[in-house]
Amino acid sequence: MIRIGAVYILAGLLFAAVAVLSARDRQNPRRIGNALFWGLLAVSFLFGNLLGDFGNGLLVLALAATGGMRWLGQSRPATTTPEERRASAAQRGNALFLPALIIPAVALIGSLVLKRVPVGGMTLIDPTQATPISLALGIVIALGVAMIWLRPRPMVPLQEARRLLDSIGWAAILPQMLAALGAVFALSGVGDQVGHIMTHDLPLGSRFAAVAAYTVGMVLFTMVMGNAFATFPVMTAAIGLPLLVRQFGGDPAVVAALGMLSGFSGTLMTPMAANFNIVPVALLDLKDRNAVIKAQAPTAFWMLAVNTLLMYFLAFR
């Protein structure tokens, strides 16, 4: 059976390779900072279960210090030349998107089918972690197809991975950090305190008021925390479960799905979601740092309104 540990090892080996390549890049004046940051991340994925809580805590502090002190720099590894890329695009056209499309296709098939395939009395992949395992499997298959089809030099995929990670910088691990922050908030009782404020200080006696408080709260907390995954356990413990599900009898699946989607409206409108809203500005070299947020805000407001109405009409049948 393929378990989630195999995905961690795969990610750890990638980050380790990026760290080694960064350390050897003498053209990058901040190569040591890059190597240290991606090396620490590799250690987290490869040996995190052996370090314990204290060791992992120190590792996270070291990652934050490395990124916060601006020790990371942009690398420009030699991969393919602009002429080679233009020639490949002209020759293959839209077929170049095939490897990228393989990834979601395999992830979908794996989530629906592979978790039920029996192998030696067990399933092929761990059914409790079918989606991330299938996603990693899709990446491996897509890489294999691209290597056989395009025939790049062996080190090109790793060098391109390094170039992309260096372009994003510390924001590449922001979703992981914020998701962990949500778990910390939930365990520390933040959701209970928010729920106490909502139920005692706000008039949530009507079903629509409770639904609106949940969806709008998901948006506002996501704008502060930067990630709907971090907000979800807090707001669901505060309003989703006690009010919408237990008090008003809502369908937990509908409430959770539309609640998370409402949180994504907040993701579209906050600079805290750096990997979505700040990194594209840097990659595209836009003059207005809030250009992406301004373009997305109207869609976010419409999504919030529609999700609120959908939850009100669909979750309480």
pLDDT tops 70 at residue 127 = yes
According to the model, what pLDDT value does residue 195 have? 64
* Per-residue pLDDT reduced to its tens digit, 220-246: 988 888 778 778 888 888 888 888 998
Report the share of the chain in percent with pLDDT over 90.
41
pLDDT tops 70 at residue 19 = yes
Residues contacting 3, CB < 8 A, separation 6+: 125, 126, 129, 133
**165, burial (CB in 10 Å: exposed 0-12, middle 13-18, buried 19+):** buried
SS3 125: strand
Among 23, 19, 43, smallest CA distance to 32 is for: 23
Residue 28's H or E segment, with its range, is none
Cα 300 to Cα 272: distance, rounded to the nearest angstrom: 15
pLDDT tops 90 at residue 11 = yes
